[in-house]
Amino acid sequence: MKTAIIIPCYNEAKTIRKVIFDYQKTFPEADVYIYDNNSTDGTDEIAKAAGAIVRYEYKQGKGNVVRSMFREIDADCYIMTDGDDTYPAEDAIALEEAVLSGNADMAIGDRLSSTYFTENKRPFHNTGNVLVRKMINFLFHANVKDIMTGLRGFNKEFVKSFPITSKGFEIETEMTIFALDSNFSIVEVPIGYRDRPEGSESKLNTYSDGIKVVKTIIGLFKDTRPFAFFSTISAVILLLCLGFFIPILTGYVETGMVSKYPTLIVISAAATIAIINFFCGVILSVLKKQHRHNFERFLNSLHYLTKINK
C-alpha cells in the first residue's frame, strides 16, 4: 500500500527542511511531495536538497495547489500537511492507519481537542475556528470537532472524486462539507499542535479569509441542501409578509376598508416570490437527488477500477 505525503507550500523556507526530514523519518517508505506555489524565498530549492519531490503550481492559492496534487499523484493513502512545522509528523501515523485499514475515507487531525487554543497566538483565529465548526455542524447536522485543520488523510476514492472549486484557504471547509454531503466515512484523531516558530509568518488573513470561508459554507449549503436553503428563505419572507398583513386584515375587519393598498401590493408580490422560491427548492432537491445517484454510480465504478489495478 503506497502512501504519499503531500505538502502545499508558499514561502516556507524557515521550516520546510525540518518538515520534510520529520516525515521522511516517520514514513520511510512514503514519497514526500512539495508543491511550490510561487515561493520567492527558495522553498523549492531547499525542498529538493532535502530529498523531496518538488512540483509547481503557478495559480496562487492553496485550493489551486490541492487540486493539482489530487489530480497528479497516485497513491493508496494521501497525508496532507502544512509546510510550517505546526503538526508533529508522528501524529499522522494514526491518520494513515485509519485510511489504510478502511475505517476512514477522510481522517482528520483534530487540533482543537488538544493544544491548539494554548499554542495559537492569534485569538481571532481561535474564535473563527469555533464559529465555523458550530455553523457547519448546525447546518449539516454533524459533529465534526475540527473543520479547518491542515493535517488530513485521504483514500484514493475521496481524492479522485472530490470536485475542488475553492481557490484559497477555504479548501479545508470544502473538504469537510463534501465528505459530509457525500456520505464518506470521517474519523477524527486528536493531534498535537504547535505555533509557528519565530520568523515564520502565517499566510492567513483573519478577516478576508474568514469571510471567504463563511461564503463557502453558505454557497455549499445552498448547493448540497437546496430544499432547506430555499424553504428557509421562503419561510422568512412569508413571516415578514404576515407581520405586515395582519394590521391590514384587522383594519379591514373593523372598517370594511383597506387603508394601505401600496403595502398590500408589496406583500402580495413578496408572497409570490416566496412561493416561487419554495418550488425552486423542491425542483433543485430532485436534481440533487439525481446527482447523488449518479455520484454513487461513479464511486462504484472508481472502486471497481481501483480493485482491478491492485
Nearest-angstrom CA–CA distance, 252 and 87: 68
* Local confidence band at 30 (pLDDT 50, 70, 90 cut-offs): very high
Angle, CA of 219, 224 and 228, to the nearest 5°: 90
Question: Tens digit of pLDDT for each residue in 284-293?
Answer: 999 999 988 8
206 pLDDT higher than 70: no
* Local confidence band at 279 (pLDDT 50, 70, 90 cut-offs): very high
Question: Tens digit of pLDDT for each residue in 245-261?
Answer: 998 888 888 887 777 88
Extents of the domains making up the chain: 3-221, 226-309
Query: Which one-letter amino acid corresponds to residue 299?
Result: L
pTM score:
0.82
Q: Could you tell me which CATH class the domain 3-221 is placed in?
A: alpha beta
Q: CA torsion, points 21, 25, 31, 35, in degrees to nearest 10? A: -30
Which grid coordinates belong to 56? 509547481
